[in-house]
Amino acid sequence: MSEKKTAFDIIQEERRKLVEIIIENLDKKGIEWFKEWSSLCTPHNGINGTEYHGGNKLKLGTIALLNDYKDPRWATFKQIADKGYKLNKGAKGVVCEHWRFSKTIEEINAETGEIEKKNVPLRSPSVSYFKVFNFTEVEGAPAFEIPERIKDEKIQEVIRNLEKSSKCLIEYANQDRACYIPSKDVILLPNQDLFTNDLALASTLLHEMAHSTGHKERLDRDLTGEFGSPNYAREELRAEISSMFLQNQLNLPVTDRQFENNQEYIRSWISILDKDPNEIYRASSDAEDIANFIVKEYKGIEQTVELEKSIKEKEPQIQVVDILALKKEKEQEKELEMNDD
């Protein structure tokens, strides 16, 4: 009689399955696989709206891509049933994982005598799992409306805001490669007219900005790896996954861009994933931190720009009002003069 599998055993098996899918797609399509993934909407819970994170986010997006799901909503069987929706016969659930690193305890405050709750770290993390189903397999739920992607005329504005939000210098030069130089904390890009289109520039800029977050004064990652080394491959994997997340979050359409997409590059990713299936989950978690860092700075700039636009739009109206008031005042003065006469 075989031993019952623990939650940890099941999670490890699921991770290996996901890595096998990713390796197969990287081997066949190279970086194109990431482009296909980032064209999808962010996987989220269709009942409460919560977005899935890290490895769960990557896994659900991958399964959606393989099954041609156009709906990014997922939910557990119980959530679907509680809403009165019906799950299609034969629908297959996807195993997601949930880790706990702390627990809530109650303590009596020595000064007030009141019971207070606080989180304390667990000696060792605990893991559980749950299954979710895509809403493509659900009957009775309202149809999903695909968010509108940013139109061409706004891409330049996105690029300008990204440049303003960058924590390091960005330089354009007459060259055919893009890179981030940690020692100088500078991003070097080809001149803008060397890119096939604005989307290609935006995508490349996001990739290099992702690298720049590894600076010791930001997210502090190891950026010392040379091309072909495991450290280099790990960092590139994080930059590419985060740029994929970012294109999705910023509603940017997916397009070709300049990228060093040679076989040695892809093989380095496959090698580290094959040796350690957990690496894709670590990479996804780091990639999400990178994306959140960049989006936070970007949104701050975007709000500032919108505020400046709003002020400029109001300025002419204020001038018009002042002119009209002055004109009315002059007319009243003239009328009084006539009355005096």
| pLDDT tens, residue by residue, 275-287 | 999 999 999 999 9
Distances (CA, A) of 129 to 122, 124, 147, 181: 18, 17, 30, 41
More confident residue, 6 or 323: 6
pLDDT of the residue at 34: 81
Least confident of 85-89, 96-100, 306-310, 318-322: 318-322
Residues 6+ apart with CB under 8 A from 200: 255, 256, 257, 258
Residues 232-284 have pLDDT tens digits of: 999 999 999 999 999 999 999 876 555 555 677 788 899 999 999 999 999 99
> What is d(CA 328, CA 321) in angstroms, rounded to the nearest whole number?
11
pLDDT confidence band for 21 (50 / 70 / 90): very high
pLDDT of the residue at 9: 93
Distances (CA, A) of 170 to 10, 30, 223, 254: 45, 28, 18, 23
> What is d(CA 258, CA 94) in angstroms, rounded to the nearest whole number?
34
Count Cβ atoms below 10 Å from residue 156 Cβ, excluding itself. Answer: 13
> What is d(CA 106, CA 96) in angstroms, rounded to the nearest whole number?
30
Q: Which of 83-92, 98-107, 143-152 tops mean pLDDT?
A: 83-92
Least confident of 219-228, 274-283, 325-334: 325-334
Residues 142-192 have pLDDT tens digits of: 999 888 888 778 899 999 999 999 999 999 999 888 999 999 999 999 999
Specify burial of residue 76 (Cβ count, 10 A radius: 0-12, 13-18, 19+).
Answer: middle
Sheet bearing 169-173, strands edge to edge: 169-173, 186-190, 179-181
How big, in percent rounded to 5, are the helix, strand and coil portions of the chain? 50, 15, 30
| Whole-structure pTM value | 0.82
pLDDT of the residue at 261: 54
> What is d(CA 38, CA 246) in angstroms, rounded to the nearest whole number?
8
More confident residue, 79 or 331: 79
